């Protein structure tokens, strides 16, 4: 017995010591990464450098200070890719930097929405106005990366590579079969015939109304993409449509023969071309500077400017409380907008919205702050990949709204979802419930019983009231008749181009255009940009939301493309009963 306890305590001591050692090793690793981020030393740049655009990771709206946000877990290395705003800022800065001779686009695939690609592509086209060259090369091109590459003067493809050019398709996820297998009953109440957010819960395919709006959206996006490629490559629009319809690009040689690329070469040959363009020895490697490195290069100092344009970033689903950079927390957003409103230096505000919507109450809180602010100084909304439902709700009180042609917007509608777990608990887990209540509706909202007709009517009244407020606020903000807003609302989503024609959007463009418009409305020529909300220091971010954000990133790393099927299901448990959100998890590619 003594021997048993001896070995048991020895084992316990070993485990404790090992745990302490692992803790300190992990803490050291974290501190090392944090210190590397916090050091943020400015980079030096040599003459005849080439800005190297390679986008390996999902493109966020703004750069993060958290080293784990872009961690590649298999290699335990942080790739440190800048956010969209920093990417655009770097491209614009490079246009006037005499040390930068050109841009090398080297991106086979892009993990972002179409409007984000449009932002970067437009910045590259703006860069070309400086007279500097842009060269694109990749071993293969996805449709999004090829669209970006066509902004270049010359597009090259590896001889054995591939170029995807087949048209867009939209994929929607439906969970009716999952709920049926688990015996979970979705109880849904909606306003609007197009408010198809409920369809994934109750259907196994698109309704006719939903198919109508998806077809219109995807067709608009594809036509816009083809027009852009036709203009850049000097090809006929109808010929490009024919190429995609008949899938005529099957081999790299097909892409060259049809004029989609200029030549089939290997990467070393492209690098030699870049050396020649830089007047270097072709055997020397060109001086490539990455986006992350160039973002730390000093911009030429100008005169001190007091005036500011505040850019308030709102990305992700809308919820109450604090946001974390990947979600829009109403408290965080309200405080950021109010801070900009109260600042004497801030002359105008750009609200950058990239959101599918979310909690109706939280959306209303943010709308209220935008409306108060707009009465004191100009507020311009810049819409990203999507600004739908709650995302449009928080935008509609702005002075002006700017969207990309391929922004998903609108979806003016409200829905309610309550899941009834009664049969699931009883038949799958053997759990039953009993209750006592002091009044008839004391248990309204509990997920353990079926809604009565009286309870449904209560929720329906709430939804109708929120929808009426939604349409009246859009009507007021956009100077439209409420009846007209209702007719184009009903939960229907629109492309940015259609939204402009309907009056939901003022003009087409990106964040760069929105900032210039805000300055124009404020009557200022010189200004500096102030980014809000203020980001926490890396260590604070790590300690605050470490487990949740790390969990999601590990899921994405482990499951890859399959994560899109799992994460929406996991998100059901966080969903509030009444939502103003995009109809579904929509993938267009």
Residue 424 to residue 572: CA distance in whole angstroms:
16
Q: What is the DSSP letter of 298?
A: P
pLDDT of residue 417: 82
566: its two tokens: 């799992």
Return the C-alpha torsion angle 339, 355, 319, 586, nearest 10: -170
**Residue at token pair 């297998």:** 181
What pLDDT score does 385 carry?
96
Residue with structure tokens 């784990």? 68
Q: Residue 179 corresponds to which tokens in the numbers above?
A: 């709920």
User: Which of 132, 195, 347, 377 is flagged as catalytic?
Assistant: 195
Q: For position 557, what pLDDT does the model report?
A: 58
What pLDDT sits at residue 37? 46
Enumerate residues 6+ apart whose C-beta is below 8 A from 1: none
DSSP 269-297: HHHHHHHHHTT--TTSPPEEEEHHHHTTB
Q: Are 164 and 141 in contact (CB under 8 A)?
A: yes
- How distant, in Å, are the alpha carbons of 153, 171, 369, 380 from that of 330? 44, 30, 10, 19
| 240, 226 Cβ separation under 8 angstroms | yes
Could you tell me the domains of the chain? 49-165+249-294 (3.90.226.10), 308-588 (3.90.226.10)
Per residue of the chain (589 residues), give pLDDT as tens: 555 445 555 565 556 655 565 555 554 544 444 444 444 455 678 889 999 999 988 899 998 766 555 555 555 555 678 999 999 999 999 999 999 999 999 999 998 999 999 999 999 999 999 999 999 999 999 999 999 999 999 999 999 999 999 999 988 888 889 899 999 999 888 765 655 667 888 888 888 888 888 999 999 999 999 999 999 999 999 999 999 999 999 999 999 999 999 999 999 999 999 998 887 665 567 899 999 999 888 766 667 788 999 999 999 999 999 987 788 999 999 999 999 999 999 999 999 999 999 999 999 999 999 999 999 999 999 999 999 999 999 999 999 999 999 999 998 988 888 889 999 999 999 999 898 999 999 988 888 889 999 999 999 899 899 999 999 999 999 999 999 999 998 888 999 999 999 999 999 999 999 999 999 999 999 999 999 998 866 555 555 555 455 555 565 555 555 555 555 555 555 556 666 766 556 667 6
Question: Residues 292, 355, 389, 411: which is the catalytic one?
Answer: 389
Question: Strand 578-581's sheet: what is its strand order?
Answer: 185-191, 414-420, 578-581, 357-359, 318-319, 328-329
pLDDT recorded at residue 101: 95
Per-residue model confidence (pLDDT) at position 39: 46
* CB of 341 closer than 8 Å to CB of 376: yes
CB of 312 closer than 8 Å to CB of 532:
yes
Which tokens sit at 413? 């509608």
Question: Are residues 118 and 225 in contact, defined by beta-carbon separation less than 8 angstroms?
Answer: no
Query: Hey, what are 220's tokens?
Result: 């608009």
Q: 361 — phi, psi (to 5°)?
A: -65, -45
Residue pair 191/463 in contact (Cβ under 8 Å)? The answer is: yes
The packing angle between helices 114-128 and 84-95, to 10°, is 10
Task: Note whether 383 and 313 are within 8 A (CB).
Answer: no
Residue the block writes with tokens 């939960």: 491
Residue 235: phi and psi, rounded to 5, are -120, 160
**How many residues are given for the chain?**
589
pLDDT at 319: 92
Give yes or no: 132 in active site: no
Is residue 201 within 8 A of residue 179, CB to CB? The reply is yes
Token reading at 351: 């609200």
State residue 43's pLDDT score. 64
Q: Pairing mode, if any, of strands 586-588 and 170-172?
A: antiparallel
Measure Cα distances from 454 to 26, 276, 339, 461, 546 in Å. Answer: 55, 77, 44, 11, 43
Q: Determine the angle formed by the axes of helices 511-522 and 114-128, rounding to 10 degrees.
A: 70
Extended beta strands in 10-153, E state: 49-53, 71-72, 77-78, 100-105, 133-141
Instruction: Supply 12's token pair.
Output: 């316990």
Q: What are φ and ψ of residue 75, in 5° steps? A: -100, -5
HSE-CB for 223 with a 13 A CA cutoff: 10
Distance between CA atoms of 425 and 421, rounded to whole angstroms? 6
Residue ranges of alpha helices (H) inside 40-189 are 84-95, 114-128, 143-149, 176-182
**450 annotated active-site:** no
Task: Tell me which DSSP letter residue 534 carries.
Answer: P
Torsion of CA 175, 181, 184, 190, to 10 degrees: 30
């Amino acid at each position: 017995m003594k021997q048993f306890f001896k070995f048991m305590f020895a084992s316990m001591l070993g485990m404790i010591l090992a745990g302490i050692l692992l803790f300190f090793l992990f803490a050291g690793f974290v501190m090392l990464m944090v210190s590397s981020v916090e050091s943020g030393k400015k980079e030096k740049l040599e003459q005849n450098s080439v800005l190297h655009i390679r986008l390996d990771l999902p493109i966020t709206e703004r750069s993060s200070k958290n080293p784990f946000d872009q961690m590649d877990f298999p290699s335990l290395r942080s790739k440190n890719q800048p956010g969209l705003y920093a990417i655009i800022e770097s491209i614009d800065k490079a246009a006037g930097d005499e040390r930068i001779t050109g841009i090398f686009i080297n991106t086979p695939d892009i993990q972002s929405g179409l409007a984000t690609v449009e932002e970067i592509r437009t910045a590259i086209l703006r860069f070309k106005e400086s007279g500097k060259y842009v060269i694109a090369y990749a071993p293969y091109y996805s449709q999004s990366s090829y669209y970006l590459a066509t902004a270049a003067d010359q597009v090259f493809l590896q001889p054995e590579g591939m170029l995807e050019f087949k048209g867009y398709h939209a994929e929607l996820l439906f969970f009716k079969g999952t709920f049926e297998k688990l015996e979970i009953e979705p109880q849904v109440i909606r306003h609007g015939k197009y408010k198809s957010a409920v369809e994934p819960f109750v259907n196994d395919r698109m309704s006719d109304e939903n198919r109508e709006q998806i077809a219109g959206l995807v067709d608009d996006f594809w036509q816009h993409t083809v027009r852009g490629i036709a203009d850049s490559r000097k090809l006929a629009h109808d010929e490009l449509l024919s190429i995609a319809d008949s899938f005529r690009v099957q081999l790299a040689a097909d892409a060259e023969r049809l004029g989609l690329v200029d030549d089939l070469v290997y990467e070393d040959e492209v690098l030699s071309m870049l050396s020649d363009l830089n007047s270097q020895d072709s055997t020397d490697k060109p001086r490539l500077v990455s986006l992350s490195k160039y973002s730390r290069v000093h911009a030429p100092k100008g005169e001190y400017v007091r005036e500011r344009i505040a850019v308030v970033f709102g990305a992700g689903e809308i919820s109450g409380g604090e946001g974390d950079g990947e979600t829009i927390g109403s408290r965080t957003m309200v405080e950021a907008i109010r801070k900009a409103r109260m600042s004497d230096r801030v002359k105008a505000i750009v609200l950058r919205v990239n959101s599918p919507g979310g909690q109706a109450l939280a959306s209303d809180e943010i709308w209220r702050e935008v409306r108060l602010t707009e009465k004191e100084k100009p507020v311009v909304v810049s819409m990203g990949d999507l600004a739908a439902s709650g995302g449009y709700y928080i935008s509609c009180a702005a002075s002006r709204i700017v969207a990309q042609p391929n922004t998903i917007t609108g979806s003016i509608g409200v829905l309610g979802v309550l899941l009834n777990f009664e049969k699931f608990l009883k038949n799958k887990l053997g759990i039953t419930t009993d209750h006592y209540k002091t009044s008839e509706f004391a248990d309204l909202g509990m997920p353990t019983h079926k809604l009565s007709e009286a309870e449904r009517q209560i929720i329906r009244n709430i939804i109708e009231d929120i929808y009426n407020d939604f349409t009246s606020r859009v009507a007021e903000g956009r100077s439209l008749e409420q009846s007209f807003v209702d007719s184009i609302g009903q939960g229907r989503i629109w492309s940015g181009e259609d939204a402009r024609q309907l009056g939901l959007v003022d003009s087409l463009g990106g964040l760069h255009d929105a900032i210039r418009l805000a300055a124009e409305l404020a009557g200022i020529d010189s200004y500096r940009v102030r980014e809000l909300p203020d980001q926490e220091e890396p260590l604070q971010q790590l300690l605050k939301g470490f487990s949740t954000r790390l969990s999601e990133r590990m899921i994405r790393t482990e499951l890859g493309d399959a994560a899109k099927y799992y994460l929406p299901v996991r998100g059901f448990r966080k969903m509030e009963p009444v939502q103003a959100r995009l109809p579904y998890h929509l993938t267009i590619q």
